[in-house]
Structure 1
Amino acid sequence: MLCFLKLFEKVTTRLSASLHVTSSIAFHDIMLMRAKLEEISMGGDPTLASMAHLMKRKFQKYWEEEGNLNYLLFIVVILDPRDKLQYLIYCLSILYGPDKGKEIGDKVESALAELFAFYVQSASASSSTSRGSNPQPLHFNADEEDEENPWDMLASHFEQHMEEIESEPNISELSMYLSEKREKRTKEFDILNYWKLNANKYPILSLLAKDVLAVPASIVPSESAFSTGGRIIDPLRCSLSTNTVEALICAQSWLKSSHTEVTAREAAEEVQEYEDIREELISKGFLENQDRIDLTDFEA
């Protein structure tokens, strides 16, 4: 039992961390927990096997129904140079079988390509506004014509123009990253430092990786998920203004409430009841006299 729960305690602590990247380790930990559940559910201890079966149902709800999958967790795996697409498809094949795993892997690869294309488009738009893609007009200084051949200057301008065009990001940057050999697994490996050092080699892909890796694996405190003593409010929610808290509570109440029809007569009667209460409070001096509510809008 202790060995069984120790794994979940470690995974919860790792994914709830806030001082280092957690999105890149989430999928690995989930695969590890699934393997542990499989092992215990087929073990000889009936109590642990029963617990594992119940936990597997929860796991299957989120990870074995394709409509509930979060592709961003898969994209992070591809952006880890130690794993890339090969590791993702290998793990998906374990989860869903070879055919289904390959199918989901292809969808994730397509999603990454679309996301990368969006970053390429954004980078191209920003660079075109600052530099422009049209060749700049040539300006020959009369004093320099004797020192430098105008034809050489024209060729120099052309080379500069082509360098600007060829330096613009293109879709092959992602293909080059995926085709290169994976990095070795070492304890000293720092994924953020890798993308920092390779920013010149993969200028657009490094921006994408930076944004994706910044997403935390979990924003729910572990105490809130597992404590039986009630809900725990983290410091972020404690700092919310009263108006924001009121709006969140009302929105939650409206979303969870069942649909009920209210007729105009019922609404008018309810407003009249509140109006009578208000008049009574005014007569006793608890409230100042205010404009009366016009009930004609509620009449049938």
Structure 2
Amino acid sequence: MTQWTLQKKLLGFRVMDYSHTAHNIFQVIMSVIQDYGIHNRIMSITLDNASANSKAIEYFINSNIHNIAGNFFHARCACHIINLIVKSGFKKVESQIVIIREALGWIMASNQRSAEFARFCKSNNLKPRKFQTDMPVRWNSTYLMLKSALPYGLEITSFYNLNTINNTRHEKLTEGDWYVVKVFVEFLTVFYDATVELSGVYYPTSPLALHKLYDIADLLKQYREIELVAPVVVAMQEKYKKYWGKIPLLYAFGIVVDPRFRFKALKVFSATLGEALGLSETDVAEHLGTLKSQILEVFSIYENMYRHNDDTTGPTPPQQQSQQQSKLMRIFLNKTTTSRASRSSSQSQSQHVELNKYLSTEYSITDNDDFTINDLLKWWQNKRNTFPILSRLACDVLAIPVSTVSSEQVFSTAG
């Protein structure tokens, strides 16, 4: 038995050498679940938006897998959605991207040209460098290619145009091409930062998701007034609303289990996000009511499961991850500074004693607060005696990744 075969068996890997249909995906994942005897412990599966994956989720929901409310079971990869949003915008500036990609590819295609370009850079008092071309199917690689090339725009244009002056197959670069790319790169920085942060594996990502959703929605709102990128923004906004017009339950839960925010912040965040997207107050309020009902439903399930269970073992906190204040957090701070008296309407309910106690506990939050995302796990671990049921639910929610990027990178590296 080879080492790789042994590793696959030990780690529960299943290699699909046949068609990736919904039923085959379901069977492969189910075989791992059955091997480990965890069919009663599956809370959520994070997958991208491929139609086969969405159909596979239906097989799971209709199987004997125990899951916590249907809306929780399929966590759609946030980074895959960001990819779909950005790619819809790329189509609008494809001509500028193509010519810069061709120019960089032409320069880097031979050692002789690379050396000549390096000498050209030195003659212009610029440190020479090599450029990597992108993979068009991965927008972040295109973003990094354009970002790295921007400081050399003048040199690339001069060198490329001069050396291809007699070659009609090569379209010439212009200052206008670089201006479009400059604006687009600045615009895409928010998407890139969101992708990097939501791809993390050593800290909870669900509490970060709503903050990043707002950053993107606010950016689209701002850039919609800029004529140069308005067509790009319109296309991206439509794609955004398709997947995130309604806040996913997982992202809402991530806010509620953060003791600085809870339900009152979810209300503020929902309204702020809805305003950025141009949604009606009625639709926002209706969806907020749905989210609260779903959260109470999930907590009720946990109450029934663990009411008489004394095992309060908590998780071991992972590596630290610092967090700067997001735009959404600052908006919430400003609103709560002027009004601290609001309480969640769920506190009036006589049931859900633990949840009501948690929601009524004030947690000091200031502009200088150094409470990080990683501290959420510590906080709930320390509260497992005070909130034995809710701490279980909180830690389970915080364990759900909002992205499949890290696992995809592992398999891509391993081949």
Query: Is residue 306–residue 389 contact of structure 2 (8 Å, CA) maintained in 1?
Result: yes
1:79 alignment partner in structure 2: 257
Structure 1 residue 181 displacement after superposition: 2.0
- How far residue 235 of structure 1 moved from its aligned partner, in angstroms, is 2.4
- 2:207 corresponds in structure 1 to 24
1:76 maps to a residue whose letter is: G
Matching of residues 96-111 of structure 1 within 5 Å: 96-111=279-294
1:37-94 deviation digits (Å, cap 9, x = unpaired) = 1000123xx2222211111111011122x5xx53121122111111111111112223
TM-score normalized with structure 1 length = 0.56
- Are the counterparts in 1 of residues 255 and 261 from structure 2 also a CA contact under 8 Å? yes
- Distance in 2 of aligned mates of 1:99 and 1:106: 11
Instruction: Please state if 1:219 is matched with 2:397.
Output: no
- Amino acid of the structure 1 residue aligned with 2:410: P
In terms of Rg, which structure is larger?
Answer: 1
Pairing 1:124-139 to 2, within 5 Å after superposition: 124=307, 126=309
Match of 2:410 in 1: 235
8 Å CA contact 1:81–1:183 kept in 2: the answer is: no
Shift in Å, 1:239:
7.0
The separation in 2 between residues aligned to 1:126 and 1:177, in whole angstroms, is 19
TM-score, normalised with respect to structure 2 = 0.41
Preserved contact between residue 84 and residue 182 of structure 1 (Cα < 8 Å): no
Alpha-carbon distance in 2 for matches of 1:215, 1:177: 21
Aligned length in residues = 184
Residues 206 and 250, structure 2, Cα contact 8 Å, conserved in 1: no
C-alpha distance in 2, partners of 1:198/1:70?
A: 26
After TM superposition, give the deviation of residue 234 of structure 1 in Å. 3.2
Which of 3, 6, 13 aligns to 2:196? It is 13
Give the letter for the 2:253 counterpart: I
**CA 1:198 to 1:97, structure 2 compared with 1: closer, same or farther past 3 Å?**
farther
**What does the per-residue CA deviation read over 1:188-235, in whole Å, with 9 as the maximum and x for residues that have no partner?**
4311111112222211111100000000111135xxxxxxxxxx9532
Q: 362, 383, 398: which one pairs with 1:198?
A: 383
Q: Which runs of 5+ in 2 are unaligned?
A: 1-182, 311-350
Cα distance in 1 for partners of 2:250, 2:377 equals: 17
Distance 2:301 2:242 in 1: 31
How big is the shift at 1:35? 0.4
- Residue 117 of structure 1 contacts residue 171 of structure 1 at CA under 8 Å; is this kept in 2? yes
1:179 aligns with 2:364: no
> In the TM superposition, what is the alpha-carbon distance from 1:183 to its structure 2 partner?
4.0
Paired AA for residue 174 in structure 1: L
Q: Is 2:210–2:251's contact at 8 Å kept on the other side of the alignment? A: yes
* Alpha-carbon distance in structure 2 between the residues aligned to 1:209 and 1:61: 28
Summarize the alignment of residues 259-278 of structure 1 with structure 2, pairs less than 5 Å apart: none
1:227-272 CA distance string (max 9 Å, x none):
xxxxx953247779xxxxxxxxxxxxxxxxxxxxxxxxxxxxxxxx
Counterpart-to-counterpart distance in 2, 1:182 and 1:52? 38
Distance 1:93 1:195, change over 3 A: same
Range with bigger deviation, 28-37 or 101-110: 101-110
Q: Check if 1:47 corresponds to 2:47.
A: no
* Cα distance, 1:112–1:235 mapped onto 2, change above 3 Å: same
Match of 1:287 in 2: none
What is the aligned-residue identity percentage?
Answer: 27
Are the aligned partners of 1:40 and 1:49 in contact in 2 as well (CA < 8 Å)? yes
- Alignment gaps of 5+ in structure 1: 128-169, 222-231, 241-300
Q: Confirm or deny: 8 A CA contact 1:93 1:100 kept in the other structure.
A: no
Of 88, 91, 109 in structure 1, the residue corresponding to residue 266 of structure 2 is 88
Q: How many angstroms apart in 2 are the aligned matches of 1:49 and 1:238?
A: 38
Given residue 92 of structure 1, which amino acid in structure 2 is its aligned partner? S
Amino acid at match of 2:395: K
Worse-superposed segment, 205-214 or 111-120: 111-120
In 1, distance between residues paired with 2:408 and 2:262? 37
**RMSD over aligned Cα atoms:** 2.5
Match of 2:231, SS state, is helix
Contact persistence 1:81–1:182 (CA under 8 A): yes
Note the 1:244-283 alignment, pairs <5 A.
none
Amino acid across the alignment from 1:119? Y
Give the structure 1 partner of residue 248 of structure 2.
Answer: 70
Q: CA deviation at 1:14?
A: 0.2
Aligned CA distance change for structure 1 residues 97 and 179 (closer, same or farther; 3 Å): farther
For the residues of structure 2 that align with 1:188 and 1:85, how far apart are their CA atoms? 19
